[in-house]
Amino acid sequence: MIVNIIGELLKIIIIFSVIMGIVAYMTLMERRFLGFFQLRLGPNRVGPGGLLQPIADGIKLLFKEDMTVLHARSFYFILAPIISFVAVLLCFAVIPFSGTMYITDLSVAVLYLMAISSAGVYGVLLGGWSSNNKYSTLGAYRAAAQMISYEIPMALALAGVLILSGSMSLVDIVNAQKGLWYIVMQPVGFLIFFIAVSAETNRTPFDFLECENELVAGYQTEYSSMKFGMFYMAEYAHILLASCLITVFFLGGWNGPVLPALVWFFAKVFAVFFLFVWIRATYPRLRYDQLMAFSWKFLLPLAFLNLMISAVLVVALH
């Protein structure tokens, strides 16, 4: 029993250490990709090819002055980045990186993901409200409205996947795609989920929570040092989580010929991450009214239609 507990703890430590390493170097990858798209070099001075840049950024954040502004509500101001960071890390507990490499396989993993990932918005809300700053508060209000608006079509897009797989276990969902990936059977669901998850992770063109030209960084305005760093890491951890979820739900997870399962999984994850960066480098930010109208007037009806068609086809084919 003790040996099993120690083994599980070691697996948890290893998996989360790898995740944090990937999150750190995703920042470098994005900056280098954006440099490529914008015909510039990007970070290339710290270490060979800029490989030590994330470590230098971490050290810089660690040693910057940690301030809590006088007008802030101190307890909630400190608690907010912790909630955002912990909520996204807890989601990785059910992500299967291969047939055997995962922390736990819950039979209701999809519900767990929807519940825990939604809790991350409370960190943003608390951060904006507790800062007692009008720009931060506006960013927090935008966060609440945006995440509620886009979580509904995202959940409806996932419902089509659940109908096809007949399970809420992520391992079962991946195993159900051995013959054919769900991106082929659910192309509309994939597009809805991709757009909704882009809005949930505050990626361009949906980055209204920290819209610099309107909100001066929004909910993060009053944050510095590692409290800001935790928000920053949570944002990139959300992008990694989104890439993992798209891989699991629509791209067959670790399934693929010849190469090891982990290689296939992370190849797909980084392909999705590259797509996120490509969109950021290509599309300008929308107007906020366009953002809300797009969800309620277009994505939501389309998600309902996709769900009904999926249900009818599954019943008819069976």
Please write the tens of the pLDDT for every residue from 27-58: 888 888 888 888 888 888 888 888 888 888 88
How many Cβ atoms from other residues are within 10 Å of residue 195's Cβ?
21
- Six-digit token string for 228: 């800001």
Model pLDDT, residue 212 = 66
- pLDDT digits over 85-102, tens only? 888 888 998 899 887 888
Task: Give the rounded percent of residues in the chain with a pLDDT score beyond 90.
Answer: 16
Domain ranges of the chain: 2-317
pLDDT band at 193 (very low <50, low <70, confident <90, very high): very high
**Which of 223, 51, 57 is closest to 140 using CA atoms?**
223
pLDDT in tens, 298-313: 999 999 999 998 888 8
The 10 Å Cβ neighbour count of residue 162 is 16
Average pLDDT of the residues of the chain: 85
pTM of the model: 0.90
Q: Is the pLDDT of residue 211 over 70?
A: no
Average pLDDT of span 12-36: 87
| Cα-Cα-Cα-Cα dihedral sign, residues 79, 84, 89, 93 | positive
Assign 190 a pLDDT band (cuts: 50, 70, 90). Answer: very high
Pick from 65-74, 88-97, 163-172, 237-246: least confident = 65-74
Comparing 6 with 241, which gets the higher pLDDT? 241
Alpha carbons 103 and 106: distance in angstroms, whole number: 10
Helix 225-250 vs helix 74-91: angle between axes, to the nearest 10 degrees? 30
Question: In this model, does residue 262 exceed pLDDT 70?
Answer: yes
- What's the token pair of residue 184? 């082929």
Question: Are 195 and 275 within 8 A, CB to CB?
Answer: no
Instruction: Identify the pLDDT of residue 214.
Output: 66
d(CA 34, CA 37): 5
Percent of the chain with pLDDT over 70: 97
Residue 243 has pLDDT above 80, yes or no: yes
From CA 196, how far away is CA 303, in angstroms rounded? 11
Comparing 230 with 215, the larger pLDDT belongs to 230
CB atoms within 10 A of CB 196: 27
Exposed/middle/buried for residue 68 (C-beta within 10 Å: 0-12, 13-18, 19+): middle
Distance from C-alpha of 123 to C-alpha of 202, rounded to nearest angstrom: 14
Q: Stretch 69-92: mean pLDDT, rounded?
A: 84
Any idea what DSSP says for residue 94? Answer: G
Query: Is the per-residue pLDDT at 81 higher than 70?
Result: yes
Looking at residue 140, its pLDDT comes to 82
What pLDDT does residue 98 have? 84
User: What is the predicted pLDDT for the residue at 301?
Assistant: 92
pLDDT of residue 318: 72
What local confidence, expressed as pLDDT, does residue 192 receive?
93
At 61 the pLDDT is 79
Tokens 């009008």 belong to 134
Distances in whole angstroms, Cα of residue 144 to Cα of each of 109, 115, 148, 217:
24, 15, 6, 16
